[in-house]
């Protein structure tokens, strides 16, 4: 029995997306990897075809789709090895803050552009000296009549260079309790006092722009705050469940794809005139990995189904995030062993996957943090 039920609309969406990616995105993946960035025009093409922010209401230009549309986008982008066009980050992690918490005026102003791809978003939370520890946040937001003055710096910000609109987490310096001091603000890229720093040179995800951001007496309208004053910590915690679920989907899909291309290689590669898959050691290694990947997919699909039913799945989401991303890393490493010397070359199809999956166990909360959350909810 299938856990997830894809409708004809879902299947048509996938077919249309796959054709679009084959024509408009796949031919440029290698170039974008070398350029270390995805051109904004690619985002606009995705948006015009309805492949961004699929969960947004039709009132703002979206298709009002369920989370399965998001899963389809992650899967199909992963199949063409395009990791720089961070559609899921934009559509399923960042934009939902605006959709869920912003005023109607802000929604009307920004959501249509987010859907169309004319506005690329980023979330600025991590800081140089604090990491993602909100309690140590130093970026401040000070009220000055009808404006908010933001001062501070952020780092490791995905979509940082391409971003047109940034959600900035900042604290009120007058409030001692940090959990009541943090608010979220919308800052447009051309705002005076806001400067994009250097693009960071990463081990993987080469075409995904990650940068530093600086705020020096950056003035924005007071109305650009998302939600109530001091509610930033709560909003961030509420949205982490879907963010971590997105990471889990990325992890399982990455493991599946690396397995697929590796098995295909092993079937065609010869050793002593026989296919590599005739080796029992290779067979057992592949079977063990495939078993873990399928188990992971089954568990993930159950968590997705529960999430779509709005069930409380904090434990399961944390489990899925750490298990799936660890699995992606382990699978990529074991698969590389099966390529022999070919696995040391850039042209080996598994090498890019090996680089790209490494960060998955770090972002959206490290896997050690996931285990700590699970232990807490288990009462350990």
- Cite the active site residues: 243
CB 350 within 8 A of CB 332: yes
How far is C-alpha 320 from the chain's CA centre? 15
Residue 217: Cβ within 10 Å count:
11
Smallest CA-to-CA distance from 148 within 118, 130, 169 is with: 169
CB 123 within 8 A of CB 155: no
Tokens describing residue 199: 């693009």
Report the distance separating Cα 308 and Cα 126, nearest Å.
Answer: 28
Rounded to 5°, the CA angle 353-357-362 comes to 165
Tell me 94's DSSP state: I
Report the distance separating Cα 331 and Cα 55, nearest Å.
Answer: 31
Residues across the chain: 380
User: What is the b/e burial string over 50-79, where b = at least 16 CB atoms within 10 angstroms of the residue's CB?
Assistant: bbbbbbbeeebbbbebebbbbbbbbbbbbb
């Amino acid at each position: 029995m299938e856990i997830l039920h894809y409708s004809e609309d879902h299947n048509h969406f996938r077919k249309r997306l796959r054709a679009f990616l084959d024509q408009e995105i796949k031919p440029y993946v290698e170039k974008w990897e070398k350029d270390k960035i995805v051109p904004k025009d690619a985002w606009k093409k995705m948006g015009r075809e309805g492949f961004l922010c699929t969960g947004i209401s039709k009132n703002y230009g979206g298709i009002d789709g369920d989370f399965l549309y998001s899963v389809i986008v992650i899967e199909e982008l992963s199949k063409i090895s395009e990791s720089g066009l961070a559609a899921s980050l934009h559509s399923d992690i960042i934009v939902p803050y605006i959709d869920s918490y912003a005023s109607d005026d802000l929604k009307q102003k920004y959501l249509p552009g987010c859907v169309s791809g004319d506005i690329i978003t980023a979330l600025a939370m991590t800081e140089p000296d604090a990491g993602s520890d909100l309690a140590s946040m130093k970026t401040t937001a000070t009220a000055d009549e009808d404006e908010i003055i933001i001062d501070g710096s952020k780092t490791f910000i995905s979509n940082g260079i391409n971003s047109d609109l940034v959600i900035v987490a900042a604290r009120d310096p007058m409030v001692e309790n940090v959990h009541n001091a943090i608010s979220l603000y919308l800052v447009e890229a051309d705002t005076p006092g806001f400067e994009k720093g250097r693009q960071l040179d990463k081990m993987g995800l080469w075409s995904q722009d990650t940068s530093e951001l600086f705020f020096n007496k950056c003035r924005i309208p007071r109305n650009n705050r998302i939600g109530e004053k001091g509610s930033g910590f709560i909003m961030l915690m509420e949205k982490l469940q879907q963010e971590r679920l997105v990471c889990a989907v990325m992890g399982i899909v990455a493991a599946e794809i690396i397995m697929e291309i590796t098995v295909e290689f092993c079937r065609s590669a010869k050793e002593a005139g026989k296919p590599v898959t005739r080796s029992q050691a290779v067979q057992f290694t592949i079977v063990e990995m495939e078993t873990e990947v399928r188990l992971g997919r089954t568990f993930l699909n159950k968590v997705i189904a529960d999430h779509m039913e709005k069930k409380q799945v904090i434990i399961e989401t944390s489990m899925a995030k750490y298990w799936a991303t660890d699995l992606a890393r382990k699978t990529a490493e074991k698969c590389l062993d099966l390529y022999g010397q070919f696995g040391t070359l850039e042209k080996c199809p598994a090498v890019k996957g090996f680089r790209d999956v490494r960060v998955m166990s770090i972002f959206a909360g490290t896997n050690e943090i996931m285990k700590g959350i699970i232990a807490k909810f288990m009462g350990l």
